[in-house]
Copies of this chain bind each other. A is one copy, B any other.
Amino acid sequence: MVTPKRKDAQQLTELILETARDLFTQYGVDTVSMHQIAKTAGVGQATMYRRYAQKGDLCLELIDDQFNRLRIEIEAQLEQLDGAPILERLISVFRRIIMFTHHEASLLKAIHVSLVQSRCLNADAQQFFCSQPYLYLHGTLAGLLKEASDAGQTVSFDPAFTAHIMIAALAPHTLQHLSDRYGYTTDDIIDQLIRTLIRPLFISLD
Residues of A within 8 A of B (CB): 30, 109, 113, 116-119, 123, 126, 128-129, 155-158, 160-162, 164-171, 173-174, 176-178, 180-182, 184, 192-193, 195-197, 199-201
Contact = CB atoms under 8 A, between A and B. Distances in A.
Nearest to A202: B200
This chain's copy number in the assembly: 2
Given A30-B119, A128-B173, A129-B177, A165 B113 contact: no
B173 A161 contact: no
22 contacts: A30-B117, A30-B123, A109-B116, A113-B116, A116-B173, A126-B176, A126-B180, A129-B177, A155-B200, A157-B195, A157-B196, A160-B182, A161-B178, A161-B184, A164-B177, A164-B178, A165-B174, A166-B169, A167-B174, A168-B169, A168-B171, A168-B173
A117 B55 CA distance: 13
A129 to B, nearest CB: 5
A162 B200 CA distance: 13
Contacts of A182: 160-161
A111 B126 CA distance: 17
Given A113-B116, A129-B181, A197 B165 contact: yes
A135 to B, nearest CB: 12
Nearest to A124: B180
A43 B166 CA distance: 45
A130 to B, nearest CB: 9
A178 B129 CA distance: 10
A197 B167 CA distance: 13
A184 B93 CA distance: 27
A14 B169 CA distance: 37
